[in-house]
Every structure is written in C-alpha cells, then in structure tokens.
C-alpha cells in the first residue's frame, strides 16, 4: 500500500538519507512561504529532534515508523513554547503553555513538527483568507483560494512541504481544503481523538483531522492520535485500524448518495456529471447504489451556522485581553474589553460572535437556537436510518470549484454555502474522508459512527476503481 511515511522510514533506516537533511530540506522549501502557508517555522525544535533521530540510527537503535517524519500543525493547536496565534491579531504574540494531546502523541511517536500553518482566524472561514498572515494560495492554481479553515495544512501536504499535516475540522475545515488541493483529509468520528489543546470553535463538532497524500498515511497518523483522554470527556477508546483490515472492500455491498445534493441548482455542472459517472463505475463493480432523501442544503447550512456561531460566541468570550492576548488599554475596564475585542478580532470573527450572541439572547434562543438543536437531532436520526439501508454514503465535497482569492471576502453568504455538503456530516458526528478523485474537488466518503475503518476501506476501493 502506497505510503510516504513508510518510504521515508525505510530511507532513514537504510541510511540513504539523514533525518537532519530531510528536515532541513522541508524547512528550506517552507521558508520562502510562496503560498502563505507558514505562520511560524519551528526550526530549532525540529533540527534538535532530527539530530537525536540521527544519533539513534548511528548507534544501531531501532526507530519507530513515525520517528523522524516531518509534519505540519494548523496554528490552532497548543505546542508548548511555540507561538499559537490562531492567525489572529489578538493572539499574535501568544506562546503555548502546554501541548495538545493529539500533538503530544505524535511527538511521543517521534514525529517532528516543522511548521505552524496558516488558517482562517479561529477557524472562521472556508477559504483561509480571514487571516493576518495573508490569504493561503491554492496548490494547483495560486490565483485561487486554498480552502479553509485548514488551508495552509492542505497546501503544505499537496506541495510536499510536509509529509502530513494536522488540521481541525468543525464543519468541513479539513475535508474542503483537502478537496481543493487534491489530497486526502479525514474528519474522524467525533471523540475518537482528544480535542484537548485545540482552540475551540464549536465544541460539539470540532475534530482533530490528519491530511496526507495516501490512505495508508492517514491510517498510520489516525492510529497514533486516537484514544481516550481524561482531559477530554467526549473521547472514547478505539481499536487500531490494521493495514489488512482496509485492504479490500468485500463487505461494502450498498452505497448511498443524497439526491438533493446532486439535483441542487447550486451544484457545478461538471462536478455533477463527474459524480454521476463515478456512481455508474461503482454499479459496474456489482455494488448496489441507492438514492437517499436528506435535508435541503440550506437547512443544513442554517442549522450548522446557528449552532456553530452560538458556540464560538461562548468559547471566545474568554478572549478579552485580561489573562492573555493583545490587550488594548482604554479609560475603564469595560472600554478596555470592548476596544481589545473590536480592534483584535477580524470582521468575520466579529460577525460570528454577534450572530452567536443574537441566537442565544432572550427572545431569540427559543425561536432559533433550540430549533437548531432539534434539527441537529433530526439530522442524526436521519443518518441512523440511512445506515440501516447502506454501508457508506458518497457525496461531492463541494458544490462548486475554488473561488478566486478575494471573492469570498466580498460575499460571506457564498462562503457559508460552500460548506453545504460537509456540515451535515459534522452535525451527525460521523467519520468522513475526502479522497482526491472523481470530481475536481474530490469525493467524500461517510460511514456510521465509530466506523472510521470503513471509510478508509472504501477509499482504497475507489482508488483502484476510478
């Protein structure tokens, strides 16, 4: 099975390359910041860790599979002693006091972090333009957006600046940029990987997700990061996914797709045609395909943003410059809070905080927020019924192709609607994988909760089928 991680590991073991040279090569590729993917380079840390790996190899010691592998980290994860800015003015000088659980597990396995990656500020965006570090440029066409909010992470993988990267997915923030840049991106089952040390956007849908160029690399990284964490009460124990268990798709008998996604007026004609062509190829392999009914895209987007804005308004209330952040002094404490938040939050972040406070306010919470919670439950129930009929659900990642840089900033509503095909699976807390095949922005494979192995298994099937 194709794997960059295994290939580099073997090169290190055979002493064909040194870890120091490998890390230096990746750092030099990142240093020009040609696609605005870099918030900060972790030069000293990375080179110190690389020297230790080289010393172990020189001494004839065995190294682990991830040991010495350079990777990137979306700049919303705590890594002790490093800048963690969330691509925002408020936290542009903030240094992490501790390390996120998922990142610590990778460090414990010997992987080497080399870069904190550009993203939409606090995860607020679908294009990675809402950032103080400049819009992330698409790996295929630098005039287009890189996708978001994990745009820097996806572009770095696509350009081979990192072997893999760790993004964060709330409503599609790993899957959509992965699709835009032609790489694999996984949103695992909610709770499979600890969120401790990930800056919260919407706590009920935030997921830690790997981005890589191969399915096998996604599997390797997922296994390392997964598991229960006492610091995150939503986590659960999970078994490792073996390479053999995802090597064939014999137990996938039925595939579903949502009719309204494909029949929508919003979908690009080429994406629609390509998706339907994939459906025909799957049928030709003897797999039954079922067209399913689902909620309208506008309902999914409205439900997601109602809940996500409410949660981010609550989560970001702690950022007032008192305990940390770029504090701006005013005449009194109340004015200090107001000026600090007004000057340091981006327009998009302020838009989401205002929207969130609105739906939570007296007189609106019953009409809007509680209705959103009820719709989320209905969406989850719909998924449970669907997975009684089908093994996996296949869908386009996005209804349209990446916009030009600048267009999304002019039209926030269009940016929100670009999430139409990803947010439903986030509300259902389901494992969903973007594969770089089938349409210009890839395909999305979704399975029932805790069935992450099945999406990887079907991805292998698609790789060999289309």
- The pLDDT tens digits of the residues spanning 229-262 come to 999 999 999 999 999 999 988 889 999 999 999 9
Query: Cis bond leading into 149, ω under 30°?
Result: yes
Residues 34/76, Cβ–Cβ less than 8 Å = no
CA 19 to CA 14: how far, in whole Å? Answer: 12
Per DSSP (E only), the strands in 180-247 are: 184-187, 207-212
User: Residue 280: is it exposed, middle or buried by C-beta count within 10 angstroms (0-12/13-18/19+)?
Assistant: exposed
Residues 118/75, Cβ–Cβ less than 8 Å = yes
By DSSP bridging, strand 254-258 and strand 288-292 are: parallel
Catalytic center residues: 74, 149, 173
pLDDT of amino acid 15: 98
CA 42 to CA 83: how far, in whole Å? Answer: 9
The arrangement of strands across the sheet holding 254-258 comes to: 38-41, 112-117, 70-74, 164-169, 207-212, 184-187, 432-435, 443-446, 392-396, 254-258, 288-292
**Which of 28, 225, 193 lies closest to 115 in space, CA to CA?**
28
Residues 299/345, Cβ–Cβ less than 8 Å = no
pLDDT per residue over 65-98, tens digit each? 999 999 999 999 999 999 999 999 999 999 999 9
| pTM given for the model | 0.97
Residues forming beta bridges with residue 171, ordered by sequence position: none
pLDDT of amino acid 250: 83
Task: Give me the residues of the chain with pLDDT under 70, please.
Answer: none
pLDDT of amino acid 157: 99
């Amino acid at each position: 099975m194709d794997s960059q991680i295994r290939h580099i590991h073997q090169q290190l073991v055979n002493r064909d390359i040194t870890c120091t040279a490998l890390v230096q090569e990746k750092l030099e590729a990142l240093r020009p910041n040609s696609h605005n993917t870099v918030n900060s380079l972790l030069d000293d840390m990375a080179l110190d860790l690389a020297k230790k790996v080289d010393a172990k190899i020189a001494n004839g010691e065995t190294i682990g599979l991830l040991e010495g592998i350079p990777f990137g980290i979306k700049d919303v994860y705590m890594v002790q002693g490093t800048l963690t800015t969330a691509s925002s003015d408020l936290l542009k000088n903030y240094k992490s006091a501790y390390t996120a659980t998922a990142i610590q597990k990778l460090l414990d396995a010997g992987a080497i972090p080399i870069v904190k990656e550009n993203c939409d500020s606090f995860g607020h965006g679908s294009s990675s333009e809402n950032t103080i570090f400049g819009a992330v440029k698409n790996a295929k066409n630098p005039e287009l957006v890189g996708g978001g909010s994990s745009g820097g992470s996806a572009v770095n993988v696509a350009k081979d600046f990192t072997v893999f990267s760790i993004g964060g997915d709330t409503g599609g923030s790993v899957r959509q940029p992965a699709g835009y840049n032609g790489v694999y991106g996984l949103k695992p089952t909610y709770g499979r990987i600890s969120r401790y040390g990930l800056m919260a956007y919407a706590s009920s849908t935030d997921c830690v997700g790997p981005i890589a160029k191969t399915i096998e690399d996604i599997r390797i990284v997922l296994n390392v990061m997964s598991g229960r964490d006492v610091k995150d009460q939503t986590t659960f124990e999970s078994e490792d996914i073996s390479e053999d268990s995802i090597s064939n798709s014999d137990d996938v008998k039925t595939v579903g797709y949502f009719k309204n996604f494909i029949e929508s007026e919003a979908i690009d004609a080429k994406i629609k045609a390509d998706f339907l062509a994939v459906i025909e190829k799957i049928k030709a392999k003897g797999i039954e395909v079922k067209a399913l009914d689902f909620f309208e895209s506008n309902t999914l987007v409205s439900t997601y943003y109602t809940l996500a804005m409410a949660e981010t308004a609550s989560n970001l209330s702690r950022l007032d410059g008192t305990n940390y952040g770029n504090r701006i002094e005013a005449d009194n404490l109340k004015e200090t809070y107001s000026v600090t938040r007004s000057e340091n939050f981006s327009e998009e972040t302020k838009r989401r905080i205002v929207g969130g406070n609105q739906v939570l306010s007296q007189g609106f919470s019953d009409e809007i927020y509680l209705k959103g919670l009820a719709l989320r439950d209905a969406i989850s129930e719909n998924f449970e019924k669907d997975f009684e009929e089908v093994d996996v659900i296949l869908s386009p990642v996005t209804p349209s192709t990446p916009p030009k840089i600048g267009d999304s900033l002019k039209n926030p509503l269009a940016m929100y609607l670009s999430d139409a095909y990803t947010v439903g699976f986030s509300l259902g807390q389901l494992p969903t994988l973007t594969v770089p095949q089938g349409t210009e922005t890839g395909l999305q494979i979704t399975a029932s909760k805790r069935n992450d192995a099945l999406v990887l298994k079907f991805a292998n099937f698609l790789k060999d089928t289309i």
